[in-house]
Amino acid sequence: MDGSSGLNSIYGINVIVAVGSVDGLAGAAACVRNARDTDVQLVFTQAFQVNTIDISKWPPESNVGFIDLGVNNEGPTPNRQLTVDFVKRIYEMGHKISFIADEHGKTAWKDVLEECGHSKEELSIRPKNRGEKYGSSCAILMKAFGESVDAHTKALLRDGNQGDQMNFDTPFGRIFNNAIKSNMSDPTRRPYIVRCMAQQEIPDVKIQGWMDEYAEMEVNLPLILASREDIGNEISVYNGSIGRHDATAVFRDAYKMSSIVVLNGTNVFLGGRLQMGISIATNRKDLNVLEIIQKAGITSGGMAAKANFAMEDKELAIDVIRAAAAHL
């Protein structure tokens, strides 16, 4: 495959389905910049959520590209059928998959395409295995684009490749990472940022505002960590109401002090709306905090490693978690 065929394929693209990582965002921006259709539809998803994508909104006979999207055969609930059904739906609706720039496993993609009556030979850019020469989606795109693309495109792909290795300390990496992390669940941010950064090197006022929110979170992180209260049984309580914060960063650092972390005054999704509540999280694999809290009759959402609930349930939640932790 030479550079020009990869680039030709991008030129005719109508829909990009990408994962919302820095690798996915930078790769999508590089593709938007080099596409003929400036209104390329941008769909951000995760491997385990492709069943929720509404294909009916896509332009007829779209050329579709996947970026950083692996087959859903890993993670806590592997179910590759989800990916098979998604690919089948795309073809049934009259669209065509033009390229798959993904490094999560080429054999898995080959098998899915064949199960859907297609083959990787139809792709202008083919999936790779991480650990091969092309360790990120941006690296795969860089190779496919070749030397003919402009400096802006190359910079996007270079920084996206760094982001895939968790290095966000690059001009574009910092913009994508910081503007997204201050509100991971806002569905409007990713398409907006990708379209903007496809065309310019510096963030606009809106994106700068999102980055400033992240800067505020970084300032608050040590203050929240300093609020630690050790209540025994490997449980620490932190005061998140100090200010805007990245809860994931709080938990990551708090696990260095104790295996069970209670974060008071943090944004949680409960009953379909975002509200101020409490999260209890653990890095212990033998403790399903969500199950324990739900069994106590507390309305709670989240996952095995992290439960979200309302402020008023704090005492009961801590009691049941303490009891469970003490018995394990």
Distances in whole angstroms, Cα of residue 195 to Cα of each of 22, 30, 159, 174, 184: 14, 10, 16, 16, 18
Q: Enter the tokens of residue 74.
A: 């890993």
Minimum Å gap between C-beta 325 and Mn ion is 35
Q: Which residue has the tokens 């798959």?
A: 100
Alpha-carbon torsion angle 115, 116, 121, 127, nearest 10? -80
In the three-class reduction of DSSP (H, G, I as helix; E, B as strand; rest coil), residue 237 is classed as strand
User: Which residues have C-beta within 8 Å of that of residue 145, sequence separation ≥ 6?
Assistant: 3, 6, 7, 10, 30, 34, 153, 157
8 A C-beta contact, residue 48 and residue 72: yes
Closest CA to 249 of 323, 149, 182: 182
In the three-class reduction of DSSP (H, G, I as helix; E, B as strand; rest coil), residue 129 is classed as strand
For Mn ion, which is the closer residue by CB, 169 or 212?
169
Stretch that binds Mn ion, among 21-29, 47-55, 210-218, 240-248 (CB under 5 A): 21-29
Minimum Å gap between C-beta 130 and Mn ion is 8
> If you ran DSSP here, which 8-state letter would residue 59 be given?
P
Which 113-132 residues touch Mn ion, going by CB under 5 A?
none
Minimum Å gap between C-beta 239 and Mn ion is 35
For Mn ion, which is the closer residue by CB, 23 or 234?
23
Which 132-191 residues touch Mn ion, going by CB under 5 A?
136-137, 164
Judging by beta carbons within 10 Å of its beta carbon (0-12, 13-18, 19+), is residue 195 exposed, middle or buried? middle
Distances in whole angstroms, Cα of residue 327 to Cα of each of 13, 285, 306: 56, 14, 19
Minimum Å gap between C-beta 169 and Mn ion is 17
| Binding status of residue 23 toward Mn ion by CB under 5 A | yes
For Mn ion, which is the closer residue by CB, 17 or 317?
17
Stretch that binds Mn ion, among 2-10, 16-24, 81-89, 108-116 (CB under 5 A): 16-24
Stretch that binds Mn ion, among 42-50, 66-74, 198-206, 243-251 (CB under 5 A): 66-74
Among 68, 159, 234, 246, binds Mn ion (CB under 5 A): 68
Which residue minimizes CB distance to Mn ion? Answer: 23
For Mn ion, which is the closer residue by CB, 136 or 266?
136
For Mn ion, which is the closer residue by CB, 136 or 182?
136
| Binding status of residue 234 toward Mn ion by CB under 5 A | no
Stretch that binds Mn ion, among 17-25, 105-113, 254-262, 298-306 (CB under 5 A): 17-25
For Mn ion, which is the closer residue by CB, 137 or 282?
137
Minimum Å gap between C-beta 60 and Mn ion is 30
Minimum Å gap between C-beta 22 and Mn ion is 8
Rounded Cα–Cα distance for residues 27 and 18 (Å): 8
Q: Enter the tokens of residue 96.
A: 């065509």
Minimum Å gap between C-beta 261 and Mn ion is 28
β-strand 229-232 against 260-270: which pairing, if any?
unpaired
For Mn ion, which is the closer residue by CB, 68 or 246?
68
Minimum Å gap between C-beta 72 and Mn ion is 15
Would you tell me which residues interact with Mn ion (CB under 5 A)? 23, 68, 136-137, 164
